[in-house]
A and B are shown apart, each in its own frame.
Chain A
Amino acid sequence: MTASVTRTAHQVSARALTWLHTHRERGALPADTTADLGDPDSVYKPLGESALAASLVLREAAAGGTELRLARELMDFCWRQFGDGDMLYERLLRYSMMTDPLETYAPFARCGIRHEPLDRLLAHTSGLRSVRGAEVLPNRRLAVANAARVAGLDQGAHAYDWSALARATWLGAVPEPWLIDWMTGYCLTHTVFHLTDWGADPTGLPADLAAYVTTWLPVWIDIWAEIEQWDLVAELMIVGCCLPEPYCAPADWERLARAQHPDGLVPRDGDPVADDPGRRFEDHQHTAVVAAIAGTLAVSRTLGGAAGQR
């Protein structure tokens, strides 16, 4: 069973990563982009997501040589898009309350790619009560805390109260599992991602919440797979890899592999996939990122890797 998961997960992940790498130029920032970013979700955020996937492939180092090379190239491509970090620095300089420069920076910091002025600015900004007290959703607050942790800012007087952060989320309420909806599903997945730093530390998920997720995860994967919500299903499969006792069901992996297109595209849902290459990338880039991460972590966990190297 484990061997079949490892094989299928590797295949899905390698194909998704290859697809992200092949089409990376479609995700390039427009030439006239400044740190102001009129629409940060259009290209800027997806670039950060591609960098996240690449950083986890490199962190786990469970892929083959080809995938590691693609991941490094993808990292380099994204870093160049961000002006080797200058853009993130300028953006934080201009907008002190924004959390995305730190969140976007974290995957690079994870791989040792640093920007010194940005590090100095983050050390100052991220410790300000004004920034830490900003009103954000609890799972978003966790995203910031984890980015700070990865960047080395979760320490001393500025250390985060992880337990309090966890309790403030939907998951922290130990809710009735039968009332979860699609949007809440994403809140749940991200809560687990950030508490465990994407599976690097499964014990980051408090034991009672880990038991709760272990109990209900198969149900949530089942119902969203039935209606072909592949993006959320793959995120839930990442959640399975972040548990102290990983949940990686062979049937789930075979189903995701069947949904993946021969070129590596992983459709976000069961709707028809457009023919236009630009549209294909735009619509399904996020799901490729999710599938690459899910496969990477599943390979790592089924091979016995309890966690990546911090």
Chain B
Amino acid sequence: MVAEHVERAEDPKAALAAIRVVGADTFAPYLLADAVFHPQDAAAVTQSFALFPPPVSTPDPPPAGAAEPWLVAWRDWAMAALLARLAEAEPDGVRAPRPTGAPVLTDPDHSQVSDAPAGQGSDSHAAHGDGLPTPDSGAPDDSGPRDTDWQRWSVRMGQLSPLALPGLDGPVHSAARAAPLALARGATRAVLRRDFPTAARITRWLALLGAEGVALPLDPVPLLAHLRLHGGGPRLALDVAIARRLLGLETV
């Protein structure tokens, strides 16, 4: 499928660039549907990395480093890791190094919310990701919005939505598993702000958690139906399609 896309393209370089833009989601048809990954597909993806190589070193996670290159590094890693997995025995290893850290959630409100939200029978506690810095307990910063409240945290998780695929795991996934409530709030907030692409990205994480059996504060099924009908654009369509596949709402 991927190799075919490159071969048929009038401008093969643009076709390879498109693969890098779609990123790890290029592999979704192989992971979530019945597409067969051929050696030619691996070669096409490998070529896209060769032509548009990721940085050799990984940037520091925010707040020490800038957010954008770090997010890109995570998405590069996701693509490279899935290539290595699907191509089996990649001789020169993964083509993008794994960054460190995950979006940090320090919202003091989240540890306080412990009641099971109604209607879902869930027991979702927002906690802090594995090995992540923990906030100073009892001494929250009152000085207004922080980079680590659930609003900003969920948006950042959405920016890492290509990592929400089966076969990938790491600190970002641990952060998601530790905070389904923050994800559900973030998705809800994004829908209410009519930011449907962000809502779809965040909901993808909820779908992944749902597929893993994590109890969710929010039923993602009607939300995805809503997003599919109200949102637009290819990226949203892809995020919604992947989320629906993760939840088993569509078969092949």
A-to-B contact residues, CB < 8 Å: 1, 4, 174, 176-180, 207-212, 214-216, 218-220, 222-223, 226, 245, 247, 249-251, 254
Contacts and interface: CB of A to CB of B under 8 A. Distances in A.
B251 interface: no
Nearest to B219: A176
Given A178-B223, A215-B117, A251-B142, A223 B150 contact: no
Nearest to A247: B109
Interface of B: 108-109, 112-113, 115-119, 138, 140, 142, 144-145, 150-151, 181, 184-185, 187-189, 191-193, 199, 217-219, 222-223, 226
Contacts of A178: 187-188, 191-192, 199, 218, 223, 226
Nearest to A216: B188
B185 A214 contact: no
Among the interface residues B185, B188, B219, which one has the most CB atoms of the partner chain A within 10 A?
Answer: B188
14 contacts: A176-B218, A176-B223, A178-B187, A178-B191, A208-B118, A212-B117, A212-B118, A214-B113, A215-B184, A220-B192, A223-B193, A226-B193, A247-B109, A251-B142
A90 B222 CA distance: 51
Contacts of A220: 192
Contacts of B193: 223, 226
Given A174-B118, A251-B142, 8 more contacts: A176-B218, A176-B223, A215-B113, A216-B188, A218-B150, A218-B185, A222-B151, A254-B142
A180 B217 CA distance: 17
Contacts of A174: 118-119
A176 to B, nearest CB: 6
A212 B192 CA distance: 17
B136 to A, nearest CB: 12
A102 B109 CA distance: 39
Contacts of B219: 176
Interface class of chain A by DSSP: helix
A164 B188 CA distance: 28
A215 B226 contact: no
B112 A245 contact: yes
Contact of A180 (B108, B150, B192, B226): B192
B109 A218 contact: yes
Contacts of B119: 174, 208, 212
Given A4-B142, A178-B223, A218-B109, A223 B189 contact: yes
B192 A223 contact: yes
Given A178-B187, A218-B185, A223-B193, A1 B118 contact: no
A209 B117 CA distance: 8
B195 to A, nearest CB: 11
A219 B192 contact: yes
A1 B108 contact: yes
Contacts of B113: 214-215
Contacts of A251: 142, 144-145
Contact of B115 (A177, A215, A250): A215
Given A212-B118, A250-B142, A219 B109 contact: no
Nearest to A220: B192
Contacts of B109: 218, 247, 249
A227 to B, nearest CB: 9
Among the interface residues B118, B185, B222, which one has the most CB atoms of the partner chain A within 10 A?
Answer: B118
A216 B185 contact: yes
